[in-house]
């Protein structure tokens, strides 16, 4: 049968069998500075107040008690039929796309390594930099190929890095999580995917400090400014000792003899 997501038709069939899971599931990555205010942000804010320059754009990760995130599903077979849900929050309309992945696979005397995501179609694969044998001598890179969806196989044990470019299918499931005042962790939620033959669970992480901000009634810029530790002032040098000196007068007619005052 077929199901339509945002005008994209997906044909369903039975999931793949064998030793692999049917899908890979992960949470959409947040920017490193989500939920944090940097010294640069504070400087830009002060500058905007004093000189009318552009204000810093804070990203607390939550807005009005709502955390907007997404669950990403990478099926081993694009036609995999599965159900998906969350223990708390609302799922939005799914977006399905074929994306290109470029990654480096490190071999350390391994014959088989796995790619991060299922390989639907291979664009290119090659050795990246020098390849070394077990004795540490530089050699020509051995044959390298793609096996069962995620397997990268080499014909002999070596030290080296392969560069691979491939296409994979990604299902994007937006999730909106509203804070629950009655819960210990107000943004806590777990995503689940279930297919014929298996289930996968994924704990959804809230933005940095979001739980504490809700409990304290603050925003990320409140706590972050307070958390900034100013640079320590350099220690003061001890006062210089008074110099041991005396005033003298020299009379020319005395031929340089010192005459006490």
By C-alpha distance, which of 27, 32, 79, 78 is closest to 200? Answer: 27
Residue 234 lies in a domain: no
Q: What band does 222 get if pLDDT is binned at 50, 70 and 90?
A: low
Long-range contacts of residues 180-184, Cβ cutoff 8 Å, at least 24 apart: 180/88
Residue 238 lies in a domain: no
Residue 246 lies in a domain: no
By C-alpha distance, which of 179, 207, 206 is closest to 190? Answer: 206
Q: Map 121-190 to HEC letters.
A: EEEEEEECCCEECCCCCEECCCCEEECCCCEEEECCCCEEEEEEEEEEEEEEEEEEEECCCCCCCCCCEE
Residue 242 lies in a domain: no
pLDDT digits (tens, 9 = 90+) for 192-204: 999 998 999 999 9
Give the 3-state secondary structure of residue 56. Answer: coil
Residue numbers of the domain that contains 89: 2-98+167-227
Residue 59 lies in a domain: yes
pLDDT digits (tens, 9 = 90+) for 115-164: 999 999 999 999 999 999 999 999 999 999 998 789 999 999 999 999 99
Greater model confidence, 37 or 88: 88
Is pTM, for the whole model, over 0.75? Answer: no
Residue 233 lies in a domain: no
What total of structural domains would you count in the chain? Answer: 1
User: Which H or E element spans position 50?
Assistant: helix 39-51
Residues 6+ apart with CB under 8 A from 232: none
The overall average pLDDT reported for the chain is 79
Tokens of 218: 């603050």
Mean pLDDT computed over 211-219: 78
Burial of 91 (0-12, 13-18, 19+ CB in 10 A): middle
pLDDT of 228 > 80? The answer is no
pLDDT digits (tens, 9 = 90+) for 30-39: 877 666 666 7
CATH of the domain at 70: 2.60.40.10
Residue 140 lies in a domain: no
Residue 9 lies in a domain: yes
Greater model confidence, 132 or 220: 132
């Amino acid at each position: 049968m077929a199901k339509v997501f945002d005008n994209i038709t997906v044909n369903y069939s039975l999931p793949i069998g064998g030793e692999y899971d049917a899908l890979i599931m992960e949470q959409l990555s947040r920017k490193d500075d989500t939920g944090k205010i940097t010294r640069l942000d504070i400087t830009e804010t002060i500058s905007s107040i004093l000189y009318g320059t552009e204000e810093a754009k804070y990203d607390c990760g939550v807005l009005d008690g709502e955390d907007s995130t997404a669950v990403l599903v990478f099926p081993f077979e694009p036609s995999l039929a599965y159900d998906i849900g969350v223990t708390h929050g609302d799922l939005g309309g799914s977006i399905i796309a074929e994306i290109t992945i470029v990654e480096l696979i490190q071999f350390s005397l391994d014959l088989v390594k796995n790619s991060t995501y299922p390989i639907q179609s291979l664009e290119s694969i090659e050795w990246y930099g020098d390849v070394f044998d077990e004795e540490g001598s530089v050699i020509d890179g051995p044959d390298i190929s793609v096996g069962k969806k995620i397997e990268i196989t080499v014909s002999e044990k070596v030290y080296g890095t392969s560069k691979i470019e491939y296409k994979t299918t990604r299902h994007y499931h937006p999730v909106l999580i509203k804070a629950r005042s009655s819960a210990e962790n107000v943004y806590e939620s777990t995503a689940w995917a279930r297919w014929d033959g298996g289930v996968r669970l994924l704990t959804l992480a809230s933005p940095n400090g979001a739980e504490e901000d809700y409990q304290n009634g603050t925003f990320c810029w409140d706590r972050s400014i307070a958390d900034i530790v100013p640079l320590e002032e350099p220690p003061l040098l001890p006062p210089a000792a008074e110099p041991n000196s005396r005033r003298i007068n020299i009379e020319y007619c005395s031929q340089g003899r010192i005459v006490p005052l």
